[in-house]
Amino acid sequence: MYYMLLIYECTDRPQPGDPGFEQALERVNAYADECRRRGVFVAGDPLKKASTATTVRVREGKTMLTDGPFAETHEHLGGYYIFDCRNLDEALELAAMCPMAQTGSIEVRPLDHIPGLTHGVA
Amino acid sequence: MTDLAAAAVERVYREHRARMLAALVRVLGDFELAEDALQEACSQALRKWPRSAVPDDPLAWLLTVARNHAIDRVRHAAMARTKLEPPREVVPMNDKQLIDIGDERLSLIFTCCHPALAEEARVALTLQAVVGLTAAQIARAFLVGESTLAQRLVRAKRKIRDAGITLEVPADHLLPERLSGVLAVVYLIFTQGYTTRDSSLRQEAIRLGKLVASLMPDEPEAIGLVALLLLHDSRSATRYTDSGDVVLLEDQDRSRWDFASIDEGVRLLDRALRFGTPGPYQLQAAIAAVHTQTPPNWSRIAALYNDLLMLAPTPVVALNHAVAVAMADGPALGLALIDEISDLDHYHLLHAARADLLRRLDRLDEAADAYRRAQSLATDPADRRFLAGRSLELGNR
């Protein structure tokens, strides 16, 4: 089963040049390497800050744009991974190993598979 | 013949329900489907066994019929849904393999107690799937509406299916944590039976604990938990007066304790302790065992609470430790320990214990204040009456 790990960060991630950036990068790369070694890695990317988000809605043919993310929650979505796991236990274990779990929160959601859907990794 | 056949169905179901359900959930990956299939197999047996004969292996017969029924249902649902898609693959297995699955009850228990489910759902699902209580019985025992409980069960079963929680015993490196989750569910069921004075629920918890311990014979904490439950339960007849008032341990009529349970508990505790890895349940059982002796050795109890405090440093354990120290070494030392505890100001027993020690130190005004505080925080009517009585003994202060 495919699982998406949605990474909600509670702190700003270090940028290149910041103290601790190299170490953080090393940790995240080591994590992805371990996931590849286990044969579960499908995809994974960081997202730019929530302040860069624009939310789109089309109502009665009119496109409406809103500055900012959809959910006005305290913690914003900061990135994701998609893993192909044997079961939820494996996905939860990988989420707990993720360096971002140390400071943020990781929501683990199975990808759905809809009969007849022509795309999607699941 | 009809009665005989019906009795045979009933007996196989009663004795092997959890085992059959576990085997079916394992193959089908879906609780609701497995339950429906098992029901269907039983009603087919009730129709067919009287006419033919009770099969040589009734268990195998029921499982085969249940599995075939489930596969048919999945195929039909798939065909009705879409023609674009082949039916969802049910694990292909011949009849022989299904029967050879053997005893998957332990996997069933671990799945029902999975930490990805809410705690109340774990308790309800374990009681339904493993113990075999109905939703109505569970709702009554936990004082919730039946529809709320039914929803809780359905949500848990669908999460198991849809989120990919597989029916299996966790891998070795996850086992200690997951086992302690299972034991916590057993303990929760027992404490519910303890607070609501529901002896049949306590008995179910003990039976469930014994099942876990027998399926994991090398886990001393599982054995220790059963010992603890037996020792607690042995005193249930004397905890309250006939009119429902609290009776303190030292005032209880020991002749009415259940000594068969005490013996069994102590024997199991000895077996657990021989593993040489005492955990929180074993220590609590050891404390309960010392309490059954006359008079209890309070220095020993204080030492055991001290060990427990190392393993489980919670404020409630610290309070119990302080009370044991007060009994062993005098109220002044105990009171000093209680006053070091933080985060427990809302707990009525902390104030009740303080009140008792202040009374013994002859600080009666402070004792009266503490009793009043305890009484205002207690929720159980019997506890409130007891505290009011103690307060009254001190007179108006």
Q: Which of A73, A70, A68 is nearest to A8 (CA)?
A: A73
Prediction pTM value? 0.87
Q: How many helices (H) and strands (E) does chain A have?
A: 2, 6
pLDDT of the residue at B109: 96
Structural contact between residues B84 and B48, judged by C-beta atoms closer than 8 angstroms: no
pLDDT of the residue at B101: 55
Question: Do B166 and A115 make contact, defined as CB atoms within 8 angstroms?
Answer: no
For residues B242 and A114, what is the distance between their CA atoms, to the nearest angstrom? 61
Instruction: Kindly list the residues from chain B whose CB atom is less than 8 angstroms away from the CB atom of residue A88.
Output: 114, 116, 163-166
Smallest CA–CA distance, residue A95 to chain B, in Å, is 13
Instruction: Kindly list the residues from chain A whose CB atom is less than 8 angstroms away from the CB atom of residue B162.
Output: 110
Beta-strand ranges (E) seen in chain B are none
Among chain B residues, the shortest Cα distance to A115 is held by: B85
Beta-strand ranges (E) seen in chain A are 2-9, 41-46, 54-59, 62-67, 76-84, 105-110
A36 contacts: CB under 8 Å, gap ≥ 6: none
Q: Residues B324, B377, B142, CA angle at the centre, nearest 5°?
A: 90
Smallest CA–CA distance, residue A113 to chain B, in Å, is 11
A67 contacts: CB under 8 Å, gap ≥ 6: A53, A54, A55
Domains of chain A: 2-110 (3.30.70.1060)
Share of chain A above pLDDT 70, in %: 96
Nearest to B81 among A1, A89, A115 (CB): A115
Instruction: Kindly list the residues from chain B whose CB atom is less than 8 angstroms away from the CB atom of residue A1.
Output: 164
Q: What is the pLDDT along chain B (397 residues), one digit of tens a residue?
A: 578 888 999 999 999 999 999 999 998 999 999 999 999 999 999 999 988 888 988 998 999 999 999 989 988 887 776 655 554 555 545 555 555 556 889 999 999 999 999 999 999 999 999 999 999 999 999 999 999 999 999 999 999 999 999 999 999 999 999 999 999 999 999 999 998 889 999 999 999 999 999 999 999 999 999 999 999 999 988 888 888 888 888 888 888 999 999 999 999 999 999 999 999 999 999 999 999 988 899 999 999 999 999 999 999 999 999 999 999 999 999 999 999 998 899 999 999 999 999 999 999 999 999 999 999 999 888 888 888 888 888 876 6
For residues B352 and B367, what is the distance between their CA atoms, to the nearest angstrom? 9
For residues A48 and B198, what is the distance between their CA atoms, to the nearest angstrom? 56
Instruction: Kindly list the residues from chain A whose CB atom is less than 8 angstroms away from the CB atom of residue B117.
Output: none
Terminal-residue alpha carbon distance, chain A: 7
For residues B130 and B105, what is the distance between their CA atoms, to the nearest angstrom? 7
Judged by a CB distance cut-off of 8 A, whether residue B90 touches chain A is no
pLDDT score of A11 more than 70: no
pLDDT of the residue at A24: 92
ipTM above 0.85, yes or no: yes
Pairing of strands A54-59, A41-46: unpaired
pLDDT of the residue at B397: 61
What tens digit of pLDDT does each residue of A35-75 get?
Answer: 999 999 999 999 998 888 999 999 999 999 998 888 767 67
Question: Do A115 and B163 make contact, defined as CB atoms within 8 angstroms?
Answer: no
For residues B123 and B144, what is the distance between their CA atoms, to the nearest angstrom? 13
